[in-house]
Structure 1
Amino acid sequence: MSIMDEFQETKSEVRLASLYQWFERAVVLFLTFLIAIVVVAAVWTLSLKILFGLVLAGSLDPSDFEVFQAVFGMIFTVIIALEFKKSLLVVAERREAVVQIRSVVLIALLAVCRKIIILDLNETDAVHTLALATVILALGVVYWLIRASDCRQEEAA
């Protein structure tokens, strides 16, 4: 498809877009911009904490579980923000009005995984651990069901 064809197609889509679709797209792009700022700030802060707070201060001990938990907790926070930004960009690019539920479940799984990584098992009771395991199992089943449903719909189309 040539650039002119794409331009004509985009031009016709623009004419058909309703005011609400324009509003929705503007909100999604604004949220994407804000999340990008948060990601940049989080990566900057993470870099400073690791470089100055751990490496140069000499307190980066790979065998220290608390340092490991803190660093990977911060990394997972950045990954969750990136995945959230990606799900918003998918909405903007596909011009769909609904955020894909698969992305929401994936973000929830990442958040629970982050919680488990930073969890101190010495101070956590068994009921709390069981609840987290149940949430992971439930989210995994939901993700699997959504994926299976999407595969069936693609095969039917």
Structure 2
Amino acid sequence: MLRAIKRFEKGIIMVLVVLMSVVLLLSTLELAWIIIVDIISPPVLLLDISELLDIFGLFMLVLIGIELLDTIAKTYMAESVDHAQIVMAVAIIAIARKVIILDVKELSGLALLGIAAIILALSVGYFLIKKRDSAAG
């Protein structure tokens, strides 16, 4: 019974890898399209701040998708990989994306402190996981 569950789990993971690959391909094509349209629209070869933020946001989103694909493909296919470390790395990348596209003028000081606390907590957690792994191995 346990072997059947493991095979089922591996099958689901393979489906997720294929679906994530399709999503990454489509989002990369969309990113390329947005860049081309923004560059050829007047003023030619100039991007305003909102266009740059949109491009950077989508770029970071594709990078997060790549990290998720890597997480799904490597972590869940191999039993020996530490899932916590990979999940923390993906979370750090996701919060970094949020910070990059963040409009600081629209947020309160308390919200900015909350984001800083999240970044600090994720960084400390990642550091502790890495430290534990280096001490164990």
The answer to whether TM tops 0.5 is yes
The answer to whether the Cα contact below 8 Å between 2:10 and 2:77 also exists between their aligned partners in 1 is no
2:134 and 2:4 map into 1 onto residues whose CA distance is: 33
1:89 aligns with 2:73: yes
Matched, 1:57 2:41: yes
Unaligned runs of 5+ in 1: 1-16
1:75-114 equivalences under 5 Å are 75-94=59-78, 96=79, 100-114=83-97
- Counterpart of 1:25, as a letter, is K
Q: In 2, Cα distance between the equivalents of 1:19 and 1:43?
A: 36
Q: Which amino acid aligns with 1:36?
A: S
Displacement of 1:92 after TM fit?
Answer: 4.8
- Partner residue in 2 for 1:140: 123
Please give the secondary structure, in 2, of the residue aligned with 1:18.
helix
Describe the SS at the equivalent of 1:122: helix
Instruction: Please tell me whether the aligned partners of residues 102 and 147 of structure 1 are also in contact (alpha carbons under 8 angstroms).
Output: yes
8 Å Cα contact 2:24/2:65 also seen in 1: yes
- Alpha-carbon separation, structure 1, partners of 2:49 and 2:134: 41
Unaligned runs of 5+ in 2: none
Residue 27 of structure 2: aligned partner: 42
Relative to the length of structure 2, the TM-score reads 0.90
RMSD between aligned residues: 1.8
Instruction: Please tell me the residue identity of whatever aligns with 2:118.
Output: V
| CA distance in structure 2 between the aligned counterparts of 1:93 and 1:23, rounded to whole angstroms | 12
- Alignment partners' CA distance in 1, 2:22 and 2:55: 20
What is the match of residue 32 of structure 1?
17
* One-letter identity of the residue aligned with 2:13: V
* 1:20 Cα offset (Å): 1.2
Aligned residue for 2:106, secondary structure, equals coil
TM-score, reference length from structure 1: 0.79
Shift of 1:37: 0.7
Alpha-carbon distance, 1:65 to partner = 2.6
Identical amino acids, percent of aligned pairs: 27
Given the superposition, is the C-alpha separation of residues 40 and 116 from structure 1 closer, same or farther in structure 2, using an over 3 Å criterion? same
Q: Identify which of 58, 72, 79 aligns with 2:56.
A: 72
1:20-78 CA-to-partner distances (Å, cap 9, x unmatched) read 111111111111111101100100111111102x011135535x332221111100000
